[in-house]
Structure 1
Amino acid sequence: MFNRVLADFAREFQLSRNKRVLLVLDQAGWHISHQLKLPEGLDLFYLPAHSPELQPAERLWPLTNEVVANHTPRSLSELEELLVLRCQKLLKQHDLVKGLTCYHWWPMTRAV
């Protein structure tokens, strides 16, 4: 499945030998699999193990998982619909997301 995601990503952004992307990943099993097929134009950089502070989005997983914790979607479409609705709600909860992902050392940007 991850190979398919990488291929779709490369196709969507028209990656090639002359147009490259460096994708930063954790070391989840599917990210480091020996069966991984890397599309042309896509390079991977792995974060050190046990370093969630380098990947602030890791702290958001419990918020997205919450919607399916006590619900068993019958299809991939139903799962996607549940997650999209949850993410739309999270987009409105700036303080909650900021509190989980903005570390004291993280550079702050001004809102435009």
Structure 2
Amino acid sequence: MPVEVFATDEHRLGLKPILRSVWAPVGERPIALGHHRFKWLYVTAFVGPSTGETVWYLSNGVSKPFFEKLLHAFAQEVGAGPAKRVVLLLDNAGFHTRPNLTVPDGLRLVYLPPYSPELQPAETLWTLVDEPIVNRLMPSLDDLHDIVDARCRWLTGQREAIRTRTTFAWWPKNYAPS
């Protein structure tokens, strides 16, 4: 029975701009427009570091019932079930854990130690997702959603770039019996 290993994480984006350093002429301070509004868009990524396969979901919130639905949608998307097992690495966020979390057949959850984001391969995807919105003022959550949706769709085709970014030296290889 084939076994694949994936990692998942969430990223919260809002109408508050993501600021990064930029070049500016000597003696001038660069201007970054911003309006601190607290409306959020959540990006959830399921990534297979060995292959670069990524499944993206956008939402306006997170909760245990919603995460349970995401797990079922993800399991269906990658074909997890009696004929294929998927091991999923994730953090210990309250909505990721039992009790009252139904895990689909064929999916096995493995939790990272507390406070260890450096071990999470999916964490490395957020700079790629943020790229088109860095230092930009987003007028509305719909505009942010459209830009991030287009970016995630584009990143889905960038398997080699995602594979090289997310495959850590200790990451296990997928297993297919001979």
Determine whether 1:55 maps to 2:120. Answer: yes
Q: 1:53-102, CA deviations, whole angstroms, 9 ceiling, x for partnerless residues? A: 21143254366457399533149xx61x221344548x6xx7xxx8xx68
Residue type matched to 1:47 in 2? L
| 1:16 and 2:87 correspond | no
Larger Rg belongs to: 2
What's the C-alpha RMSD, in Å, of the aligned pairs? Answer: 3.4
TM-score w.r.t. length of structure 2: 0.41
Structure 2 residue aligned with 1:28, among 77, 86, 93? 93
**Quick one: which amino acid aligns to residue 141 of structure 2?**
P
Q: Where in structure 2 are there 5+ consecutive unaligned residues?
A: 1-65, 171-178
User: Match of 2:89, SS?
Assistant: strand
Equivalents in 2 of 1:73, 1:18: separation in Å?
40
Q: Using the alignment, how far apart are the partners of 1:34 and 1:82 within structure 2?
A: 36
| Distance change in 2, residues 1:34/1:86 (3 Å) | same
Question: Which residue number in structure 1 is paired with residue 110 of structure 2?
Answer: 45
What is the distance in 2 between the residues matched to 1:59 and 1:38? Answer: 25
C-alpha spacing 1:50/1:10, structure 2 compared with 1 (3 Å): same
Q: How many residues align?
A: 95
Q: Which has the higher contact order (CA 8 A, sep 6+)?
A: 2
User: More helix by proportion, 1 or 2?
Assistant: 1
Deviation for aligned residue 1:13: 2.6
